[in-house]
Amino acid sequence: MKTQQVRSFVCGLCAVIFTLAFTALSLTGCPDDDNGNNNGGDGANNSGNGDNGNNNGGGGGNGLSFTLIKDGTEYSVKGSSISGAVVIPATYDGKPVTSIGERAFYNCRSLTSITIPASVTSIGYRPFYGWTSSQTIYVPWRSGYKPSEWNSYWNSSCNATIVYQGGS
């Protein structure tokens, strides 16, 4: 009889430990991408002015990481260790934010919503992969429209609610 009680106790303890570990992982923000790379441009702590010595990466202090693209005239954005409601700025460090990188917010279940500005004309492959129906993506266009440079899989494997805000 004691052996059965010990087994039950150990099984219950394992279930509690697993639940706590899973909860902790889900609250830590966006995970690294599936290649083991940090989703933030330079892998830093995402604070600063976007200049890490080579003008390639940097953070906005809110978990967004910006990387200069197109000969240093525009920025691409990704998220890392980010949670809550996020509004991507139309400009960063005086330059337009025109791109959301591939898998930029991959499995970011700690985000409740993200608002994409009209300045974003390019979007990579599956940036919102793994998002759930409790999350919302706000886009500035009417339903059914997307800029031509948005990857056709931009909302693939994404169950988030997409709110079209009606612009042109």
Q: Cα(4)–Cα(1) distance, rounded to whole angstroms? A: 5
**Is 31-167 a CATH 3.80.10 domain?**
yes
Residue 18 has pLDDT above 90, yes or no: no
- The sign of the CA dihedral 136, 139, 142, 148 is negative
Higher local confidence (pLDDT), 58 or 79: 79
Asked if pLDDT for residue 83 goes beyond 70, the answer is yes
Over residues 83-110, the mean pLDDT reads: 94
pLDDT at 12: 59
Q: Which of 21-30, 68-77, 104-113 has the lowest mean pLDDT?
A: 21-30
Structure tokens of 34?
Answer: 């599936």
Which residue in 96, 158, 159 sits closest to 122, CA to CA?
96
Please write the tens of the pLDDT for every residue from 152-165: 888 888 999 999 98
Domain boundaries, the chain: 1-28, 31-167
The answer on pLDDT for 15 being more than 70 is: no
Out of 48-57, 117-126, 142-151, least confident range? 48-57
- % of the chain beyond a pLDDT of 90: 42
Closest CA to 100 of 141, 61, 155: 155
Cβ atoms of residues 124 and 150 within 8 Å: no
- Cβ neighbors of 27 (< 8 A, separation 6 or more) are 83, 110
Task: Quickly count: other Cβ atoms within 10 Å of residue 102's Cβ.
Answer: 18
Least confident of 112-116, 136-140, 146-150: 146-150
Q: What pLDDT score does 8 carry?
A: 63
For residues 66 and 90, give the distance between their C-alpha atoms in angstroms, rounded to a whole number. Answer: 12
pLDDT at site 5: 65
How far is residue 15's CA from residue 48's CA, in Å, rounded to a whole number?
Answer: 41
CB 99 within 8 A of CB 69: yes
Ranked by mean pLDDT, the top range of 22-36, 51-65, 81-95 is 81-95
Q: What is the pLDDT of residue 118?
A: 93
